[in-house]
Amino acid sequence: MIPEIGHFALILAAMLAIAQSGVPLWGAQRGDSRLMGVAAPLAMAGFVAIAISFAALMWAYAVNDTTVVNVVANSHSAKPMLFKLTGTWGNHEGSMILWVMVLAGCSAAVAGFGRDLPSALQARVLGVLGLISLGFLAFILMTSNPFDRVWPPPPDGQGLNPLLQDIGLAIHPPLLYLGYVGYAVTFAFAVAALIEGRVDAAWGRWVRPWSLAAWSFLTMGISIGSWWAYYELGWGGYWFWDPVENASLLPWLAGTALLHSAIVVEKREALKVWTVLLALLAFALSLLGTFLVRSGVLNSVHSFASDPARGIFILCLLGIYVAGAFALFAWRAPSMAPAGVFSPISREGGIVLNNLLLCSITAVVFVGTLYPLFLDLLTGQMISVGAPFFNSATAPLALPLVMGMAVGPMLAWKRAALWPVLQRLWWAACMAMLAFILTLTLAGWHVLSALGFACAFWLICGAATDIADRSGVGRTSLGNAWNRARNLPRAAWGAAIAHAGMGVTILGVAGMGLATEKLVAVPPGGSTQFAGYEWRLEGVRDFMGPNFTARKATITVLRDGQVVHVMEPSKRYFPIGGMTTTEAAIRTSPARDLYAVLGEERPNEAGVAEAVLRLHDNPLAPWIWIGAGIMSLGAGLSLTDRRIRIAAPARRRKETEAEATA
């Protein structure tokens, strides 16, 4: 009964989406305030309907309802409750419902928080969001209905891929979807602006918080995914340039460019057409990511099933939305006149450079990700493009980007002088040089890592200089500077923190460039020297988990005969589904991660069973994810800025409208 309610609610949501995509757009075109007024209640109702549907599916998972095909295929009664619930979106159908629920939530937020928006703009934005929602609801109902029943019900389900039975599944997809779908909102704003043929500072003021929020969530989603892969897959790496990872990186890159150019629209009313284009691009790349991951074109832990019908459906949706939006862009964009004029050396100029480099990196990653697919499709030749390609093609573009990141925020708007800014940054440059030389002397000839450390210090010191400069350190008394620092706009703090966070991430990445690894076969009681520690294998024993059995090794890590850590890497065997997974043991400290993986056990010449161990020493690894956290924190802080909270020009315009009608 409950699954039927869920199914019904989903159909209801699709009907509401039809109304939401039709009525407000028509109303806005005719200037009919009653028709425009239905947009907000429809968006709210659509969200409620999808939430009911999602809750119904979750309930089916919670009680392990084996009459539902989706539950049978992806769950099992022996799973812990948390993984039963998170398993709701650990499959194709459920993850699509989560996707549309997040989208409907964003629509509802636009409806709820957007009361200050000009009503025609709000109606158009909600109409476009309804259109997107409708496409994906149709996709779910026609090709991937999660509420299909099976009769007679099998005794139990087939279980969830053990790799997904992890807390990472609870956090990573929802955050990532909030990011992807957040760009649906900026997309809708861009399309609405194209329909109206007008982009102004107020528009920029509305787009900026959405792009900030989406960027913040996407940053978190990607970094948590990377951290999850790091500890769960047991390869000892954090980023593999896997097509699925690239699929999430592409909208992030375009979104980062959008985030910056939206500032220019808001402050200076320049780069308007370009910002609209970036907003279209960011969502197009989000959709592309959804297509790559959901269609099963690519193999990874993310592709749950490959069904050509689904791939073609999403490809059609992608084609309709993207082609439609770009056609509208080509038709309307020329009518939008640029207003702000600026010299090449200015904050705007810096942001143009930032956009240019980010878009170039996006293009490189895009080509590297899709080229093998096209080549396979056109010639049938199988190739792959791996990490060496992406590293050597993106690093030369990333280097000037990072160098500009410290300078850009300190340039004045409209027209700036470069030399005084560089003078203020001399100590940051000294720190960067020092880091470069120190790395080369201490760690040997690792030029890329040394460059990475230099970039990291350049960014962190640059962000500190920016804040110090704005608060007048050195030009006024310290107490006065402190007061000024506290009263700086939160957006300034947010930007500095996010830039420093990028520096922290680069610090971790550079540290990981110095990572070392040792593969060794050790008999019980034997030991090996690695990374300045003695690693002693105490033994390997059997271990029982709730729905798995495991072989668990106990390794004592000693330094100078003193026990420092006890690590227990294991191999888990899940009888349901017959899968084995590797559980790496990780000891994190600020300076390094010690990482141990248990391989197979095999007899040596003497007939003693040895265990193969893979040991990693990952310097500064945790800072990769801490840095990403700092970046999204910076974005969050920027979101609480007074300007964004108050949204003054929109309100003022509404008042004048009210006066005009009164």
Report in angstroms how near the CB of residue 9 gets to other proteins at its nearest.
Answer: 31
Chain centroid to Cα 606, Å, comes to 51
Decide: helix, strand or coil at residue 613: strand
Give the residue with the Cβ less far from other proteins, 138 or 579.
Answer: 579
The residues, any chain, with a CB within 8 Å of residue 86's CB and separated by 6 or more, are 167, 169, 170
The DSSP secondary structure of 146-176, one letter per residue, reads: TT-B-SSPPSS-----GGG-SHHHHHHHHHH
Binding of other proteins at residue 576 (CB under 8 A)?
Answer: no
Q: Which of 393, 422, 576, 644 binds other proteins (CB under 8 A)?
A: 393
Binding of other proteins at residue 582 (CB under 8 A)?
Answer: yes
Give the residue with the Cβ less far from other proteins, 305 or 646.
Answer: 305
Applying CB under 8 A, the span of 90-98, 259-267, 485-493, 516-524 interacting with other proteins comes to 516-524
Q: Which of 212, 285, 540, 597 binds other proteins (CB under 8 A)?
A: 597
Hey, what are 265's tokens?
């629209």
In 3D space, the residue among 498, 496, 456 whose CA is nearest the CA of residue 632 turns out to be 498
Binding of other proteins at residue 516 (CB under 8 A)?
Answer: no
* Residue position matching structure tokens 């008394």: 477
Binding of other proteins at residue 444 (CB under 8 A)?
Answer: no
Decide: helix, strand or coil at residue 486: helix
Binding of other proteins at residue 201 (CB under 8 A)?
Answer: no
Segment 331-370, which members bind other proteins (CB under 8 A)? 338, 341-344, 352-353, 356-357, 359-361, 363-364, 367-368
Q: Which of 155, 561, 578, 607 binds other proteins (CB under 8 A)?
A: 578
Binding of other proteins at residue 383 (CB under 8 A)?
Answer: yes
Applying CB under 8 A, the span of 173-181, 199-207, 248-256, 599-607 interacting with other proteins comes to 599-607
H-assigned helices in 87-200: 92-113, 119-143, 167-196
From residue 621, how far is each of 51, 228, 452, 591 by CA, in Å?
38, 13, 13, 8
H or E element in which residue 542 lies: strand 533-544
Q: Which of 29, 143, 161, 556 binds other proteins (CB under 8 A)?
A: 161
| Contact pattern for other proteins over residues 620 through 649, marking x by CB under 8 A | ------------------------------
412: left (phi over 0), alpha (psi -120 to 50) or beta: beta
* Residue position matching structure tokens 């990072």: 402
Q: Which of 386, 420, 525, 575 binds other proteins (CB under 8 A)?
A: 386
For residues 291 and 318, give the distance between their C-alpha atoms in angstroms, rounded to a whole number: 8
For residues 93 and 79, give the distance between their C-alpha atoms in angstroms, rounded to a whole number: 20
Give the residue with the Cβ less far from other proteins, 116 or 601.
Answer: 601
Q: Which of 392, 423, 441, 562 binds other proteins (CB under 8 A)?
A: 392
List residues binding other proteins (CB under 8 A): 161, 163, 233-235, 299-301, 338, 341-344, 352-353, 356-357, 359-361, 363-364, 367-368, 371, 381-386, 388-390, 392-394, 396-397, 519-521, 571, 577-582, 597, 599-600, 602, 610, 612, 614
